[in-house]
Chain A
Amino acid sequence: MISLNQVTKSFAGTNAVHDVSFSVSQGAFLVLLGPSGCGKSTMLRMLAGLEQPTGGQIRFGDTLVADGGSGFTIPPAKRDTGLVFQSYALWPHMTVAGNIEWPLKVAKLSNDERRARIKEAMEMLGIAQLANRYPGEVSGGQQQRVALARMIAPRPNVMLFDEPLSNLDATLRVEMRVELLRVHAATGATSVYVTHDQVEAMTMATHVAVMNRGRIEQFDAPERLLAEPASAFVAGFVGTPPANLIPIADGKWFGAIADPSLPGLRGYAMVRAEEIAVTDEPGPRTLQVRLAEIVPMAGRRLVTGIVNDIRITAIADGAARLPLGLRFRLPDAPAAFFDTEGNRIS
Chain B
Amino acid sequence: MTLPLRRRGQLFASHGLTLAMALILFALVAAPLITIAIQTLQPSSGAQAWGDVLASRLSPNLFWRPAANTMLIGLSVAAGCVLLGGFLAWLVVMTDVPGRAAIGFMATLPFMIPSFATALAWGSVFRNGRVGGGGGLLEGLGFAIPDWLSWGILPTILVLIAHYYALAFTVIAAALAAVNGDLIEAAQMTGASRKRILFGIVLPVVTPAIIAGGSLAFAGAVSNFAAPALLGLPVRMQTLSTRLFGMIEIGQTERGFVLAILLICISAVFLGIGNRILSGRRSFATIGGKGAKPRRFALGGGKSLLAVLAWSICFLTTVLPIFLLLAASFAPSSLALFSNWTLHYWIGTSDPAFARGQPGIFHNPQLISALTTTLTLGVVVAFTANLLGILIAVALTRHKVPVLSSLVSQLSFLPMLLPGIAFAAAYIALYGAPIGPLPALYGTKLLLALALTAAMLPFAVQTGRATVAQISGDIDEAARMTGAGFFRRLRAITIPLAARGLVAGLLISFVNIIGDLAITILLFTPTSPLLAVLSYSYASDGFHQFANAVTLVILVISMFATGAATLLRGRRRENIA
Q: What's the minimum C-beta distance from A163 to chain B, rounded to whole angstroms?
A: 8
- Contacts A91-B201, A106-B192, A167-B289: A85 and B284 contacting too (C-beta < 8 A)? no
Return chain B residues, CB-CB under 8 Å to A85.
182, 185-186, 289
Q: Which of A136-173 contact B (CB under 8 A)?
A: 136-137, 140, 143, 154, 166-167
For chain B, the bracket of interface size reads 20 to 34
B189 contacts the other chain (CB 8 A): yes
Q: Are B204 and A87 in contact (CB under 8 A)?
A: no
Contacts of A135 in B (CB 8 A): 286-287
Report A-chain residues with C-beta under 8 Å of the C-beta of B281: 93
The complex places the Cα of A106 from the Cα of B196 at a distance, in Å, of 9
- Minimum CB–CB distance from A48 to chain B (whole Å) comes to 7
Task: Point out which of A75, A77, A78, A85 has the most chain B C-beta atoms below 10 A from its C-beta.
Answer: A85
B205 on the A face (CB < 8 A): yes
Measured between alpha carbons, how far is A143 from B186 in the docked complex, in Å?
15
Verify A82–B287 contact, CB threshold 8 A. Answer: no
Given contacts A76-B188, A93-B207, contact A87 B284 (CB under 8 A): no
- Is the CB of A103 closer than 8 A to any CB of chain B? yes
The complex places the Cα of A106 from the Cα of B193 at a distance, in Å, of 9
B-contact bits for A109-140, CB 8 A (1 contact / 0 none) = 00000000000000000000000001111001
Q: At the interface, yes or no: B290 with Cβ under 8 Å from chain A?
A: yes
Residues from chain A with a CB closer than 8 A to the CB of B196 are 106
- When C-beta atoms are compared, the residue in chain A nearest to B288 turns out to be A87
Q: Report whether B287 and A88 are in contact in the complex, using a CB–CB cutoff of 8 Å.
A: yes
* Cross-chain contact B182 with A93 (CB below 8 angstroms): no
> A92-B282, A93-B205, A107-B190 are contacts. A87–B185 as well, Cβ < 8 Å?
no
A84, closest chain B residue (CB): B186
B284 pairs with A167, CB closer than 8 A:
no
Decide if A310 is an interface residue (CB 8 Å cutoff).
no
Place the interface of chain A in its size category: 20 to 34
Are A77 and B189 within 8 A (Cβ)? yes
- Segment 33-54 of A: residues with Cβ below 8 Å from B: 48-50
Q: A106-B190, A106-B192 are in contact. Are A89 and B185 (CB under 8 A)?
A: yes
Question: Which residues does chain B contribute within 8 Å of A89, judged by CB atoms?
Answer: 180, 182-183, 185-186
A91 touches B183 (CB 8 A): yes
**Chain B CB within 8 A of A279 CB:** no
| Contact, CB under 8 Å: A76 / B191 | yes
A92 close to B185 (CB less than 8 A): no
Residues of A within 8 A of B200 (CB): 102
Q: Which residues of chain A have C-beta atoms less than 8 A from B207's C-beta?
A: 93
User: Does B285 count as interface, using CB distance less than 8 angstroms?
Assistant: yes
Nearest B residue (CB) for A49: B189
Across-interface contacts of A136 in B (CB, < 8 A): 282-286
**Which residue on chain A has the smallest CB distance to residue B192?**
A106
- From B188, B192, B284, B289, give the contact of A88 (CB < 8 A): B289
> Hey, which chain A residues are within 8 Å of B146, CB to CB?
none
A86 at the interface (CB under 8 A from B): yes
B191 touches A75 (CB 8 A): yes
Asked if B542 is an interface residue, CB under 8 A from chain A, the answer is no
A83 at the interface (CB under 8 A from B): yes
Bound Cα distance A86, B181 (Å): 12
Chain B, Cβ-Cβ closest to A99? B186
Does A313 belong to the interface (CB within 8 Å)? no
- Complexed CA–CA distance, A136 and B200 (Å): 18
> Is A81 close to B, CB under 8 A?
yes
Chain A nearest CB, measured from B352 CB (Å): 69
- Cross-interface CB contact of B286 among A76, A87, A166, cutoff 8 Å: A87
List of B residues within 8 angstroms of A107 by Cβ = 190-191
A219-231 vs B: 1/0 string, CB under 8 Å? 0000000000000
**How far in angstroms is the closest Cβ of chain A from B532?**
43
Interface residues of B in 85-105 (CB under 8 A from A): none
B287 CB to nearest A CB, Å: 5
Determine the chain A residues whose CB is within 8 A of the CB of B182 once the complex forms.
85-89
Chain B residues at the A interface, C-beta cutoff of 8 Å: 180, 182-183, 185-192, 196, 200-201, 204-205, 207, 281-291
16 contacts between A and B (CB under 8 A): A75-B191, A77-B188, A83-B186, A86-B289, A87-B287, A87-B290, A88-B289, A89-B182, A90-B286, A91-B186, A91-B187, A91-B201, A92-B283, A106-B191, A107-B190, A167-B287
9 smallest beta-carbon distances between A and B, as pairs: A77-B191, A87-B289, A89-B182, A103-B190, A89-B186, A86-B289, A93-B204, A92-B284, A134-B282
